[in-house]
Amino acid sequence: MTTSPTTARRDRGSLLTLDWYRTLAADKQSRSAFWASSLGWAMDAFDYQALPLALAAITATFALTKGQAGLIATVVLVVSAIGGALAGWLADRIGRVRTLMLTIAMYSLFTLLSGFAPTYGWLLVLRALQGLGFGGEWAAGAILVAEVSSPEQRGRVLGWIQSFWAVGWALAAIAYTVVFSLVKDQQLAWRVLFWLGVLPGLLILYIRRNVADPEVYRETRRAEKAETSEAVERGAVGSRVPQIFQRDLLGRTAACCLLSLGAQGGYYALFTWLPTFLKEERGLKVLGVGSFLFVVILGAFLGYLAGGYVNDWLGRRPAFALFALLSAVTVVAYTQATKGGNKSLLLVLGSYLAELFPTRARGGGQGFTYNFGRGVGAAFPAAIGFLSASIGLTAAIAFGASAYALVLVALLFLPETRGKQFVAID
């Protein structure tokens, strides 16, 4: 998508307006892509957050240790890393939209089935399969919207999409509060919460009718097919190594993996254990946990939006450094963590990774590096669970702050990409 000089000047001069939405008005497809990705991300949050909210009840149902409980979250995140990398590759091969629908179907179906898990082992398997879709949705949705957004407004557009994580999180908190208040048997209540996770599957109907792949992606695929046909006629043999691991992109891929690991390791270290912390360390009941979480969610929502504007205002690298430092302080403070700083860091990650890779490898690059960080960072929730047995849950959670140092190191090896235009052939 190109931007005229007049539009670019207007975009830069309107940092605090809703002009980002106006830039999506050129065609119905762009706005439909925005809403499909936003709602998909909200429902992704709903299905994921059901686990932390239900974790204490699941622990009691299967008589788990904290280490075993943390392992559920770790398994989900590890498999979601595989799902995200696979979805990124599929997004480059079968299209952004088809991949988005597939991932939504995956996380909806297996969240539902998780509610029927008869044993701890079965729950691990079903939540792992849910992780395939959970990890893939953002890989497909973020790329889809990044490619239809104005370069000057891209951070803000993705910031608004990221804010829908808070919407889904809020819906999960509401569902948790209602279900756990009405269903007195806690061993049944967490299952009912998971059963509600099938509802996001209805979003597929909207996407199928209203959303198409961006023109820059379609143009790239046409060019690649023409190039492949020409190579076959010459008798040339292409490289079998994925493009993100070839010499021209390998260094950038490695730096992006480090960046993603730091951002996501710290985030999941904190928020996987937040509901359990509030119950066990602060003695809050169901309504108390729900009320506290709504304060966190509101702060997160505002943080996502502010992060989008800061991302376009300061640039990708300064914004990343700022949010990494703020997030480290948030994790250490922990019980004061009501401003959503950690998730704002993941917002910047979404737009930055999309801009660091060329169109031919954007899905694979963002999908692999984002989810490499998620997969390796998945060790943090389990580590906190096991550490808490010896040093206590509060001290163990503070361990997550160490992840953010990796973000600052990675930024030394990556360029600034603010305002980057997307083209078919880079």
Domain ranges of the chain: 20-212+243-411
| Higher local confidence (pLDDT), 380 or 38 | 38
How far apart are the C-alpha atoms of 164 and 42, rounded to whole Å? 5
| Higher local confidence (pLDDT), 6 or 294 | 294
Decide if pLDDT at 379 tops 80: no
Mean pLDDT of 399-404: 71
pLDDT confidence of 240, banded at 50, 70, 90?
very low
- Read off the pLDDT of residues 204-228 as tens digits, 9 standing for 90 and up: 888 888 888 888 788 877 776 666 5
- What is the number of other CB atoms lying within 10 angstroms of the CB of residue 12? 13
Using alpha carbons, list the distances in angstroms from residue 384 to 76, 81, 223, 401: 16, 20, 48, 12
- Per-residue confidence (pLDDT) for residue 288, from 0 to 100: 60
pLDDT confidence of 4, banded at 50, 70, 90?
very low
Q: Show the CA angle centred on residue 46, arms to residues 296 and 331, nearest 5°.
A: 35
How far apart are the C-alpha atoms of 315 and 415, rounded to whole Å? 10
Decide if pLDDT at 109 tops 90: yes
Using alpha carbons, list the distances in angstroms from residue 285 to 177, 243, 317, 386: 10, 51, 41, 24
- What is the number of other CB atoms lying within 10 angstroms of the CB of residue 10? 17
- Per-residue confidence (pLDDT) for residue 282, from 0 to 100: 63
- Per-residue confidence (pLDDT) for residue 121, from 0 to 100: 94
Whether residue 366 contacts residue 300, with contact meaning beta carbons closer than 8 Å, is answered with no
- Per-residue confidence (pLDDT) for residue 175, from 0 to 100: 92
Whether residue 411 contacts residue 320, with contact meaning beta carbons closer than 8 Å, is answered with yes
As a whole number, the mean pLDDT across the chain is 76
- pLDDT above 70: percentage of residues in the chain: 70
How far apart are the C-alpha atoms of 414 and 418, rounded to whole Å? 12
| Higher local confidence (pLDDT), 306 or 205 | 205
Amino acid identity, position 162: Q
Q: Which residues of 404-423 are buried (b: 16+ CB within 10 A; e: fewer)?
A: bebbeebbeebeebbbbebe
Whether residue 126 contacts residue 110, with contact meaning beta carbons closer than 8 Å, is answered with yes
How far apart are the C-alpha atoms of 229 and 239, rounded to whole Å? 15
Tokens of 20: 């980002």
Decide if pLDDT at 241 tops 60: no
| Higher local confidence (pLDDT), 304 or 49 | 49
- Per-residue confidence (pLDDT) for residue 17, from 0 to 100: 62
Decide if pLDDT at 339 tops 50: no
pLDDT confidence of 12, banded at 50, 70, 90?
very low
Decide if pLDDT at 258 tops 90: no
- pLDDT above 90: percentage of residues in the chain: 13
How far apart are the C-alpha atoms of 321 and 327, rounded to whole Å? 10
- Per-residue confidence (pLDDT) for residue 284, from 0 to 100: 60
pLDDT confidence of 88, banded at 50, 70, 90?
confident
Stated length of the chain: 426
Please name which of 368, 360, 358, 364 lies closest in space to residue 417, comparing C-alpha atoms.
358
pLDDT confidence of 287, banded at 50, 70, 90?
low
pLDDT confidence of 194, banded at 50, 70, 90?
very high
Whether residue 302 contacts residue 340, with contact meaning beta carbons closer than 8 Å, is answered with yes
- Per-residue confidence (pLDDT) for residue 338, from 0 to 100: 38
Level-2 CATH architecture, domain 20-212+243-411: Up-down Bundle (1.20)
